[in-house]
Amino acid sequence: MKKIYDVVVIGSGVAGQTAASGLAFAGKNVAIVENDLWGGTCANRGCDPKKILFSVVEAHNKSLHLIGKGIEEAPIINWSQLIAFKNTFTDPVPEQSKKRLKASGIDVYNATAEFIDAKNIKVQDHILEAAQFVIATGARPALINIEGKEHFLTSDDFLSLPNMPDKLTFIGGGYIAFEFAAIANAAGAQVDVIHHNSRPLKAYDQELVSALMSQLEAKGVIFHLDTNITLIEKVGQQFKLTDDKGFELTTDLVFATTGRLANTEKLKLENADVTYDKKGIIVNDYLQTSNPAIYALGDVLSKKQPKLTPVSSLEASYLVSLLTNKNDCPIAYPKIPTNVFSSPKLAQVGVTVLEAENSKDKYEVSTIDASNWFNYLRVNEPVSKVNIIIDKDSGLLAGASCLNNEADQLINFFTFFINKEIKAAELADAVFAYPTIASDLTYFYT
């Protein structure tokens, strides 16, 4: 059976849902196709459930910091209760997402989409023709190609673990490894993190990364750097990890946290003359692929911008305005903050310390130890470091990075200052509630 639409969206995550709903609201005849969980990664098995688990870790760590300061002992995390709580958020997502799309007048298809040619896709027994297609199929966990890779679990599995094992291991040194290490450690597991080189979290200021590692190590997390695992063997109920230099480690579970792969291989993009590389689909400044009738957005893209939910939302909103003739300009990305929800949190935005040090004639770097400031002393926080990068010519904030348990809030303020070009003098005139994280801003940016 063949059906004809104005637009067919492939993928129902944040990018796909936002694009499909916006186009349908504008009067387009829209269909959406999903071959996995309706609602996509973020809501089902990504940032949202991760943050639910982390909320308990935050409470646990705050209690740890205040032992002997009014709290006698830290609470014990009940993992099964925590997962049950998380499930109250994630279980309804697929059906609710599907219902919202249907309520918007969008036709929904549960199937894998395959391009037949530039104007048609095959969806089970249906052929869907459209004037335009939007690809928003997202990404999935990557697995390194080593002997025994079938024993790997992924972030999807971690977020649904029914029980926390005594010992688990993460292979990879990116933000997922650091976040899950903090969660598992707080939940009582022995945690090992293995990374193939000496620079985990390589996109971040390495001084702050080292400080973060020291804090995690103090809690019991063990890091194995410059270790390249080549074999995973099942030994009884455990797994033995080895490299080619004599390293051995036995663990209850082993997780691959080595990045994510764009979901492109099932689409048969070559049939539609859509160009892609190992990082994802290639688009121009209008989110248009090599086929002018096909657009792509979100984590399936090959792009330099961070693959984050807010970025996907921005791209979807832009695309709706473009395809409804409300905008004919190329997409403009603001400065985008990134966060590592570990213990403590690590965040940065804009020009990095390394970039600033390589352009000393243009930027000035201030490194601030705020651990003795009231807002950190009152919760007995062990570390609070902030780097501020100022553009010498304009005097404006150009970048910032921070390591403390308020980093996710601080970086949002710094991002606003950068994107809105707020001057230090303007901030000095602002009055914030005291004592709060916001009331410290004028001390950072002067």
Binding residues for NAD(+): 172-179, 259
Q: Annotated binding site, which residues? A: 51, 172-179, 259, 299
Q: What's the rounded Cα separation, in Å, for the pair 231 and 240?
A: 8
- Measuring CA to CA, which residue among 263, 82, 312, 307 is closest to residue 174? 307
Place of tokens 């390394």: 354
Cross-strand pairs, 432: none
Report the greatest alpha carbon distance in the chain.
70
What token pair was written down for 286?
């209008």
Asked if 441 contacts 411 with a C-beta cutoff of 8 angstroms, the reply is no
The secondary structure of 265-306 as a DSSP string is: TTS-GGGGT--EETTEE---TTSB-SSTTEEE-GGGB--SS-
Q: Which residues are annotated as a binding site for FAD?
A: 51, 299
Give the containing element (helix H, strand E) for 310. Answer: helix 309-323
CB-based contacts of 267, cutoff 8 Å, min separation 6: 10, 113, 114, 115, 135, 137, 274
Helix axes 14-25, 309-323, angle to 10 degrees: 30
Q: In residues, how long is the chain?
A: 446
Q: Which residue has the tokens 């946290």?
A: 257
Long-range contacts of 337-340 (CB under 8 A, 24+ apart): 337/411, 337/412, 337/414, 337/415, 338/175, 338/203, 338/306, 338/308, 339/407, 339/408, 339/411, 340/175, 340/178, 340/179, 340/201, 340/204, 340/212
